[in-house]
């Protein structure tokens, strides 16, 4: 048995050994390796790097990709490591120029002599104000010429040893760094090519603090496809940042600017990750301290069919081409076409012409923004057109519902409407149609018949029914930029300081008065007739899906905006007249559909008188006896005799739809999103 004093000696010995080890380690750290550790600590920096979250994809109704996020290489500046910013920028600019690579340059002064402010800068009060504030912080007057401002900035940044053009480019990057840095980090260029990346890495010792990172960019499965629906993404601007900074956005972030990209921003945007890293004096990572992975954004599933959208877009472009060939180059410069589900308001396809390429949006902007054809305007929801004869169904419905006519009421058309002694408008081409009832009046598009129905109804009744069917009000579709149009009424004309006349009423009855509508309003109007009086809110976002789990986060349910109590006999009469217009000899659209055997169809054509060449319209539904799908085509300045050409587009789209009918119908089933 070990005695107590011995145990104490053993414990003390162990204790002394431990202390000795600590002392030796301290000697090694402080005396032997001290200089090395001191140098390492001086040359190392702890940095936090944001890891961009992948933006969610945009898919069609069958989950085929439309827009995806792809990985791209970016060149970043870490200002905490860069010692000589001017020299570093100069070297990087040299690399980019040799490789012919583009980089971010938002500086408002031109790149070459004479040095002037860019036109788009001067036209933006917010940009001018922001630049003025930036100059004032440097004690440079804001109300000076671009040349004087540049000279003052060269002096401020000590760039007099550089050629003026290079000094200007260095200032441009410093301007971006000071206004768009995220902490220490600034994105110099995105989606950079392999040659440039290689040169940046090869010259890394010359430019410490300049690194190559992996970023995310939007890629489009089909170019020039559904551009007005999808919209585009871009760098956040100063005004947007002020609004969104409390929601986690940084000044260097990207966000949706238009279309679905804008409307679904909260769903598409993911949650960025971050990385704390220890770097040496050259900016090389020597240790990862903390690494939090980003969370990808949700996928947005649209109601459109990729194939149907392609057919609609190609068909619309072909209609424009043929109408130009028929009526001259000044005709048919723009138009829109929409196909929609009658029983829900889902948009199957929506095309606007002219269009643009999302992949080259920013490089094309300066040219296309000045294009008189206004390709950035989504005419399907923003273009306003007189409805012309497509409005006659509404007049007929109002007449039948208010019982000023019946299905058997006839009117004898002699080519002119002679009720008024001093105003006697004509039917198209002064055609004397003879005895007309509601069916034949729609079939032959007789103005005289509907003039008389409008007179009997009065403008108050016509305005009431116009409102019920959604004219003069936005449909509520998710897309930004929708116009509400105008609804002809006494009140509307009085708001213009004018007095309503009897002639205004009968012109309103045939869609030639003060009523204007978007193609979306027209297709929704005809769908409301087809389903018996239920006006839905059109929609284009079908569902939102978690990218990681595949779980449906949100799903759009059809929304009823108005339930119009229409008699079945009224609806049947209107649809029968439209069927006769398309499928019986003598019908206004028969020449375009006489050879169409895929399905029955109910159609109404229209020619809206405008300054110059009239606008051509066509609306309809199919099948005629039990409608499933509604459509509207509007060709601005399409001219006369456009109906057979418009019909070609309708037939192509309907042929596709009915060949895939079961697939479309099954996609309506709750919880079933077909991939």
Q: Which class does domain 306-359+377-666 fall in?
A: alpha beta
CA atoms of 86 and 83, how far apart (whole Å): 9
Closest CA to 577 of 369, 416, 372, 407: 407
Whole-number Cα distances in Å, 474 to 232, 483, 650: 23, 6, 25
Residue 624 has pLDDT above 80, yes or no: yes
DSSP letter at 510 equals T
| Interval 418-445: pLDDT, tens | 999 999 999 987 899 999 999 999 999 9
Closest CA to 633 of 612, 608, 659, 611: 608
CA atoms of 664 and 97, how far apart (whole Å): 52
| Interval 508-563: pLDDT, tens | 999 999 999 999 999 999 999 999 999 999 999 999 999 989 999 999 999 999 99
Residue 32 has pLDDT above 70, yes or no: no
Closest CA to 320 of 642, 650, 651: 642
| Interval 336-346: pLDDT, tens | 999 999 999 99
Closest CA to 163 of 94, 106, 96: 94
Structure confidence at residue 38 (pLDDT): 47
CA atoms of 44 and 201, how far apart (whole Å): 20
Give the residue-averaged pLDDT of 271-282: 66
User: How many Cα atoms sit within 13 Å of 150 on the Cβ side?
Assistant: 24
Q: What percent of the chain has pLDDT over 70?
A: 90
CA atoms of 470 and 480, how far apart (whole Å): 18
Residue-range domain boundaries for the chain:
46-104+111-302, 306-359+377-666
Asked whether the beta carbons of 226 and 66 are under 8 A apart, the reply is yes
Give the residue-averaged pLDDT of 618-636: 97
Q: How confident is the model at residue 355 (pLDDT cuts 50, 70, 90)?
A: very high
Structure tokens of 558? 């059809």
| Interval 164-185: pLDDT, tens | 999 999 999 999 888 876 667 7
Q: What percent of the chain has pLDDT over 90?
A: 69
Closest CA to 440 of 449, 431, 452: 449
E strands, 460-586, where?
Answer: 534-536, 541-545, 552-555, 560-563
Q: How confident is the model at residue 279 (pLDDT cuts 50, 70, 90)?
A: low
636: Cα separation from own chain's centroid: 22
Fold of 46-104+111-302: Penicillin-binding protein 2a (Domain 2) (3.90.1310)
Alpha-carbon torsion 259, 264, 268, 273, what sign? positive
Whole-number Cα distances in Å, 534 to 403, 524, 529: 21, 10, 8
Q: Is-same-fold flag (46-104+111-302; 306-359+377-666)? A: no
Give the residue-averaged pLDDT of 494-520: 96
Give the residue-averaged pLDDT of 393-408: 98
The pTM of this model reads 0.81
What's the burial of 551, exposed, middle or buried (CB within 10 Å: 0-12/13-18/19+)? exposed
| Interval 108-141: pLDDT, tens | 999 999 999 998 889 888 889 989 999 999 999 9
Give the residue-averaged pLDDT of 438-464: 97
What's the burial of 289, exposed, middle or buried (CB within 10 Å: 0-12/13-18/19+)? exposed
């Amino acid at each position: 048995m070990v005695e107590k004093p011995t145990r104490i000696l053993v414990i003390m010995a162990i204790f002394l050994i431990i202390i000795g080890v600590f002392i030796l380690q301290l000697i090694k750290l402080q005396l032997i390796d001290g200089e090395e550790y001191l140098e390492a600590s001086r040359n190392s920096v702890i940095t936090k790097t944001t890891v961009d979250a992948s933006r969610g994809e945009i898919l069609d109704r069958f989950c085929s990709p439309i827009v995806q996020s792809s990985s791209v290489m970016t060149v970043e500046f870490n200002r905490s490591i860069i010692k000589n910013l001017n020299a570093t920028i100069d070297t990087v600019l040299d690399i980019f120029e040799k490789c012919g690579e583009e980089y971010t340059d938002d500086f408002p002064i031109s790149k070459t002599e004479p040095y002037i402010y860019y036109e788009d800068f001067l036209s933006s009060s917010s940009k001018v104000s922001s630049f003025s504030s930036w100059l004032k912080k440097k004690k440079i007057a804001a109300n000076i010429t671009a040349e004087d401002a540049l000279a003052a900035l060269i002096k401020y940044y000590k760039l007099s040893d550089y050629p003026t053009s290079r000094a200007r480019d260095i200032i441009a990057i410093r301007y971006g760094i000071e206004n768009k840095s995220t902490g220490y980090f600034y994105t110099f260029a995105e989606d950079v090519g392999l040659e440039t990346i290689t040169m940046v890495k090869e010259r890394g010792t010359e430019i410490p603090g300049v690194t190559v990172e992996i970023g995310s960019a939007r890629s489009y499965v089909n170019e020039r496809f559904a551009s007005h629906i999808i919209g585009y993404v871009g760098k956040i601007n100063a005004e947007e940042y002020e609004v969104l900074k409390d929601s986690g956005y940084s000044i260097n972030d990207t966000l949706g600017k238009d279309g679905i990209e804008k409307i679904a921003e909260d769903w598409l945007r993911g949650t960025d990750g971050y990385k704390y890293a220890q770097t040496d004096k050259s900016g090389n990572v020597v240790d990862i301290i903390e690494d939090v992975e980003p969370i990808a954004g949700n996928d947005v599933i649209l109601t459109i069919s990729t194939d149907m959208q392609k057919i609609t877009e190609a068909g619309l472009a072909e209609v424009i081409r043929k109408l130009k060939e028929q009526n001259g180059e000044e005709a048919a410069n723009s138009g829109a076409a929409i196909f929609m589900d009658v029983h829900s308001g889902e948009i199957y396809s929506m095309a606007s012409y002219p269009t643009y390429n999302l992949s080259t949006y920013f490089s094309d902007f300066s040219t296309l923004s000045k294009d008189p054809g206004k390709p950035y305007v989504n005419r399907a929801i923003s273009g306003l057109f007189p409805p012309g004869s497509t409005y006659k169904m509404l007049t007929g419905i109002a007449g039948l519902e208010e019982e000023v006519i019946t299905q058997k009421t006839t009117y004898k058309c002699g080519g002119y409407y002679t009720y008024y002694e001093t105003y006697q408008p004509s039917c198209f081409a002064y055609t004397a149609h003879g005895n007309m009832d509601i069916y034949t009046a729609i079939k032959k598009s007789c103005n005289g018949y509907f003039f008389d129905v409008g007179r009997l109804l009065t403008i108050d009744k016509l305005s009431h029914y116009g409102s019920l069917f959604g004219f003069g009000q936005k449909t509520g579709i998710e897309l930004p930029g929708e116009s509400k149009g105008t609804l002809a009424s006494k009140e509307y004309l009085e708001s213009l300081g004018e007095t309503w006349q009897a002639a205004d009423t009968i012109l309103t009855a045939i869609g030639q008065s003060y009523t204007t509508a978007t193609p979306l309003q027209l297709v929704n109007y005809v769908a409301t007739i087809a389903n018996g009086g239920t006006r839905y809110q059109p929609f284009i976002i079908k569902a939102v899906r978690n990218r990681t789990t595949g779980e449906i986060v949100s799903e759009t349910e059809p929304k009823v905006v108005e339930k119009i109590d229409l008699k079945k006999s009224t609806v049947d009469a209107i649809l029968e007249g439209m069927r006769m217009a398309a499928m019986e000899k003598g019908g206004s659209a028969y020449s375009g559909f006489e050879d169409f055997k895929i399905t029955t169809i109910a159609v109404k054509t229209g020619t809206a008188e405008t300054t110059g060449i009239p606008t051509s319209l066509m609306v309809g539904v199919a099948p005629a006896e039990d409608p499933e799908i509604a459509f509207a085509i509007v060709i601005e300045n399409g001219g006369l005799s456009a109906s057979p050409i418009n019909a070609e587009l309708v037939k192509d789209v309907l042929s596709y739809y009915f060949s895939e009918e079961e697939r479309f119908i099954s996609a309506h089933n709750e919880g079933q999103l077909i991939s």
